Structure 1
Amino acid sequence: MKKRIAAGVFILLAAGVMAYQMTQQRPLDLATSYVFETPRALAPFTLEDQYGNQFTNQSLQGKWSLFFIGYTACPDVCPTTLNKLAAAYPELQKISDSFQVVFVSADPKRDTQIKRLDYINFFNKEFKAVSAEHAALFPFSRDLGFVYAMVGEDSDYQVDHSASYVLVSPRGEKTAVFKTKPAPGQLPQIINNELISDVDKIVSAWH
């Protein structure tokens, strides 16, 4: 009799563990983002922020970091994105008070430290504006999943670049990517309400 009771308790416990695991593994209901099944630490990097300070892997520790790539002479995507992120920032800070937004300049030749400082301060003085020479910038951008390319040969060249965002966890791991959605007659964009909702779900589920 005791053996039967013990076996029954074991089965109930096993069923409970399986149910818990299934709940934990259930995909998040996300509107505009994709969470990587296995978060991956970024390779060692060294960039420079808008104050001339080093921005490295250590700068990510203990903070949620939302990255996007562009350049200060960008005519449309970058200023639109920064305006939208400046509007979303107070809500993102409510989700995590250690949240940082990082603008990665893909135009180190023209986007000097001072230019990045003036540019980012126009949108939000708490945002980071980082860059480096292409030898360091290209592998860092590729590690995040961003791409960029110079178009044109004179001083008025343009920079084609990704329009997505990448979320990096407080452990410095690439955790999620946010993709733009096409909008008729408008630039493809990430809707702020969807961004905030997805970030909230991702941060809440993170462990």
Structure 2
Amino acid sequence: MKITIIVGLFLLVVAGGVAYQKMQTEPMELATSYVFEQPRTLAPFTLADQFGNSFTNQTLQGKWSLFFIGYTACPDVCPTTLNKLAAAYPKLQKIASNVQVVFVSADPKRDTQAKRLDYINFFNKDFKAVSAEHTDLFPFSRDLGFVYAMVGDDSDYQVDHSASYVLVSPRVEKIAVFKTKPQPGQLPQIVNAELIADFAQIVASWH
């Protein structure tokens, strides 16, 4: 009887271990994002936020940071995206209270500190709005995987830029990218429900 009980307990432990291992190794079913197999530590950078405070690697320590690049004169993608992020933010906070949304301005010439402050306050006062001269901004953006380019020569130039989001972990590592799903006749967007669901899985699996 004792041998039977011991064998039974052993089999339960083994079965539980196999199930746990399977749970750990099975890939996440993500709807709109890609998680890097190897997180990528961000190179040292220095930008400034909408209050003129220094924004560096240390600013990201201990926080989940969701980055989006654009510019305040953007006619469509940026305001649409920031509206969507403002709507998603309370649910993201329930998943990780230490989450922050960071808008990166790719137009430092026109997007002054005061302009970035007014712009981001319209959407959410808790969001960051950062920028720097192109000599600092370009390598930082490239490190995140963003691209941007000025289009036009006069003062009404536009800025072509990425529409994806990039997630940086509390260890200041680039961990995932949330990708848009282009649809004919519509702006490239990321569905909030998919963003929130993917974010929850990524945070839960992070270690």
Structure 1 residue 158 corresponds to structure 2 residue 143: no
1:163 to partner: Cα distance: 0.1
Question: Equivalent residues in 2 for 1:14-25 (5 A)?
Answer: 20-25=20-25
Corresponding residue of 2:142: 142
**RMSD between superposed Cα atoms in Å:** 1.8
- The runs of 5 or more residues in structure 1 that have no matched partner are 1-9
Measured against aligned partners, the alpha-carbon deviations of 1:118-149 in whole angstroms (never above 9, x if no partner) come to 00000000000000000000000000000000
Corresponding residue of 2:56: 56
Name the TM-score, length of structure 1 as normaliser.
0.91
Structure 1 stretches of 4+ with a deviation exceeding 4 A read 10-19
Measured against aligned partners, the alpha-carbon deviations of 1:51-101 in whole angstroms (never above 9, x if no partner) come to 000000001111100001000000000000000000000000000111100
Corresponding residue of 1:75: 75
Corresponding residue of 1:5: none
Question: Equivalent residues in 2 for 1:1-207 (5 A)?
Answer: 20-207=20-207
**Local SS of the residue matching 1:189:** coil
Give the letter for the 1:112 counterpart: T
CA distance in 2, matches of 1:82, 1:121: 11
1:40 to partner: Cα distance: 1.1
Give the letter for the 2:111 counterpart: D
**Local SS of the residue matching 2:188:** strand
CA distance in 2, matches of 1:23, 1:204: 12
CA distance in 1, matches of 2:87, 2:36: 26
Give the letter for the 1:118 counterpart: D
CA distance in 1, matches of 2:102, 2:70: 11
Give the letter for the 2:176 counterpart: A
**Local SS of the residue matching 2:138:** helix
CA distance in 2, matches of 1:92, 1:14: 36
CA distance in 1, matches of 2:117, 2:28: 37
1:15 to partner: Cα distance: 8.1
1:39 to partner: Cα distance: 0.6
Name the TM-score, length of structure 2 as normaliser.
0.91
Give the letter for the 1:103 counterpart: F
**Local SS of the residue matching 1:143:** helix
Corresponding residue of 1:6: none
Comparing 49-58 with 182-191, which one deviates more in the overlay? 182-191
**Local SS of the residue matching 1:188:** coil
Give the letter for the 1:199 counterpart: F
The count of residues paired between Structure 1 and Structure 2 equals 199
CA distance in 1, matches of 2:195, 2:16: 34
